[in-house]
A and B are shown apart, each in its own frame.
Chain A
Amino acid sequence: MTPHMLTRSLDRGATIFLLAVAALGVLIPLSNLLLPAGSFFQVPTYLVALWGKYVCYAILALSIDLIWGYCGILSLGHGAFFALGGYAMGMYLMRQIGTRGVYGNPILPDFMVFLNYSKLPWYWHGFDMFWFAALMVLFAPGLLAFCFGWLAFRSRVTGVYLSIITQAMTYALLLAFFRNDFGFGGNNGMTDFKDILGFNVQAEGTRGALFMLSCLGLIVSFLICRAVVSSKLGKVLIAIRDAESRSRFLGYRVESYKLFVFTLSACMAGVAGALYVPQVGIINPSEFAPGNSIEAVIWVAVGGRGTLVGAALGAIVVNYAKTFFTSGVLAPYWLFMLGALFILVTLLLPKGIVGTFNAWREASREKRPVAASAAAEDGVTEPKMAE
């Protein structure tokens, strides 16, 4: 990222959002670790892990907003990329268990011993090294997205058809990962993690660090998204979203743009999944469930698509509500509430929370005296770099 891309991408809303995330990323772990347990301002450890989960969901929501809000690609299978990133991290964590597993096998994870594997499958090699696993966190979802996108976008599959095949993709992966002989732990997935980079995953210090890293992940993802959408490429994406064939007649290779942004988005979702797994302590095939991907799309719709900040906020707000409502007497009705929320947002707030707020602010700005706005317009004679 060059300096001019950075300055161009930081408007006021973006700056406030980044500062807020950075502040929470530092304050929450510090309050958890430094203040005495039971103090009013001390954040309990379980909340650190819970909010860490929300932050990972926020990264996933950003990745969906990048393709849906700015390029009109509605993926109903983005949970698959999230889960693949999670599995890559899970494989690393499994290899770190070593002889501390139930069966004490230094090479084979417990489930492989249980399933009578005689040696490590070839695709498990290298996952004992963190750098390799980290690379795979990006590479596995990225490669799948690239291949999938290459086929789909070149064939000009768009709109609802594309949404359906993304859904089919995640469902196919769900079925594959359920199989014991697929080599990823089948139905049970991977759990009982011990260490990450030599630190105990259960320790409060590690949890705090993982929370900080998740916030850092959110900040970096947000900056990447902002840099993309505020570049000229972002304008091309919006052009493709609004009038795809027109963009072709101007000489833009639409499929290349879609492929670029789709692959980038899948890598981001993979990072979100990789940060998520050590914090929740388990990864299993249910992460591929189509419902998860649809839920993530709802977060973006609620927060406001095409706003980035809204997507991240939507993920946090809806998941907070989910935690709140699924732990009380209303628990059996959560899915109905989620459905109702989606319908209400679609009908009453089609731009989502942040989108509606922005539109309201824009409208109140236009009501100001003409002289002020004319003066403001004079200032924008250069191409709209600062937008």
Chain B
Amino acid sequence: MNVMDTRATSAMLYLDGVHVSFDGFHAINNLSLTLAPGEMRAIIGPNGAGKTTMMDIITGKTKPDEGTVLFDGVTDLTRLDETRIAELGIGRKFQKPTVFESQTVHDNLLLALNVDHSVKGTLFWRGSRAESERIDKVLETIRLTDARNRLAGSLSHGQKQWLEIGMLLAQDPKLLLVDEPVAGMTDVETHLTAELLKEINKTHTVMVVEHDMTFVRELGVKVTCLHEGTVLAEGTIDQVSSNERVIEVYLGR
């Protein structure tokens, strides 16, 4: 990675001293975290640790009260809205699978493609072979080729999760934020999802929030444990899970 002078950091994502409070509740408290380009990071932490709020901050849904959030070393994300941040190349999969239920699997992917998103561009859009091929490739990756003409609302829970990951692939962002990708999945599906994310990580920077420890272990990446809006521990899964404070937080005081 060549570091240019204008870049404040070589990190893909850089959070420093971030604070957010909602009506006096400190959801994020002096949170600092960096993600190197090409890295995959797993984020764990009990409920209410601030994992989803952190994603809201990175994607522009929530504005932090203070702190720095830099993307790709140069872009201050706190000044931009969701659309602009998505255009810059940050994609997000939600905790609850959010697909466009009344449209087909194919159309969901078509909508996600990172092509011209302007009113004029979509009004006069004509399909191209390149677009169709990309969609076919994504369909194959997420194993939904046979379901391409089915309504997304009729898919099983696991398939919806995969479709949403597929939408991320179609969007082809530089940074993927994946919130609880295996919630409600069978063991086989969980294993396949881990494989899929590892594959995606070969070409993308990924941040995964997940409760499922088997899954996190299978990913085999650096783990950050959040608690009460701040970083409690960081390291390999073994280091983190043997950390006394982490155990204390998870098992209760």
- Residue with the highest number of chain A CB atoms closer than 10 Å, among B82, B114, B135: B82
CA distance A5 to B126 in the complex (A): 9
Taking the closest CB of chain B, its distance from the CB of A241, in whole angstroms, is 8
CB proximity to B under 8 Å, residues A342-387: 377, 380, 382-385
Stretch from B66-74, B96-104, B242-250 that touches the partner: B96-104
Task: Name the residue of chain A whose CB is nearest to the CB of B177.
Answer: A249
In the complex, which of the residues B83, B100, B131, B135 contacts A239, with contact meaning CB atoms closer than 8 Å? B100
Contact at B117–A253, with CB atoms within 8 Å?
yes
B191 at the interface (CB under 8 A from A): no
Is B122 in contact with A251, judged by CB distance below 8 angstroms?
A: no
Contact mask A238-252 → B, CB, 8 Å, 1/0?
A: 110011011111111
Find the B residue at minimum CB distance from A261. B119
**Total interface residues on A, using CB and 8 Å?**
32
Q: Is the interface of A mostly helix, strand, loop or mixed?
A: helix
Chain A min CB distance to B230 (Å): 25
Q: Interface with A: B41-49, B86-94, B214-222, which one?
A: B86-94
| B21, CB-defined interface residue at 8 Å | no
Q: Given contacts A248-B82, A257-B119, A383-B106, are A233 and B100 in contact (CB under 8 A)? A: no
Residues of chain A within 8 A of B171, CB atoms compared: 250-251
A260 at the interface (CB under 8 A from B): yes
Beyond A246-B100, A251-B171, whether A383 also contacts B132 by CB under 8 A is yes
Report if A384-B102 is in contact (Cβ < 8 Å); known contacts: A232-B122, A249-B92, A256-B119: no
Specify which of B103, B114, B127 is in contact with A251 (CB 8 Å cutoff): B114
Q: How far is the CA of A238 from the CA of B131 in the complex (A)?
A: 21
A254 contacts the other chain (CB 8 A): yes
Cross-chain contact A252 with B107 (CB below 8 angstroms): no
Cα–Cα, bound, A256→B121 (Å): 12
- The reply on A2 being an interface residue by CB < 8 A is yes
A22 at the interface (CB under 8 A from B): no
Q: A241-281: which have CB < 8 Å to B? A: 242-243, 245-254, 256-257, 260
Q: Which residue of A lies closest to B88 (CB)?
A: A251
B127 contacts A383, C-beta separation under 8 Å: yes
Q: Using A260-B119, A384-B106 as known contacts, say yes or no to A248 and B149 having CB atoms under 8 A apart.
A: no
Task: Evaluate contact between A231 and B124: CB separation under 8 angstroms.
Answer: yes
- When distances are taken between beta carbons in the complex, the residues of chain A under 8 Å from B122 are 231-233, 235-236
Give complex CA distance A277, B246 in Å.
Answer: 74
**Interface status of A119 (Cβ within 8 A of chain B):** no
B110 touches A232 (CB 8 A): yes
Across-interface contacts of B205 in A (CB, < 8 A)? none
Confirm or deny: B125 has a beta carbon within 8 angstroms of a beta carbon on chain A: yes
Once the chains bind, are A252 and B117 in contact (CB under 8 Å)?
yes
A232-B125, A248-B83, A250-B117 known; 8 new pairs, CB 8 Å cut-off, are A232-B122, A233-B119, A243-B99, A250-B111, A250-B167, A254-B83, A257-B119, A384-B107
7 closest Cβ contacts across the A-B interface? A251-B86, A232-B125, A248-B82, A233-B122, A232-B122, A233-B123, A383-B127
Residues of A whose CB lies within 8 Å of any CB of B are: 2, 4-5, 228, 231-233, 235-236, 238-239, 242-243, 245-254, 256-257, 260, 377, 380, 382-385
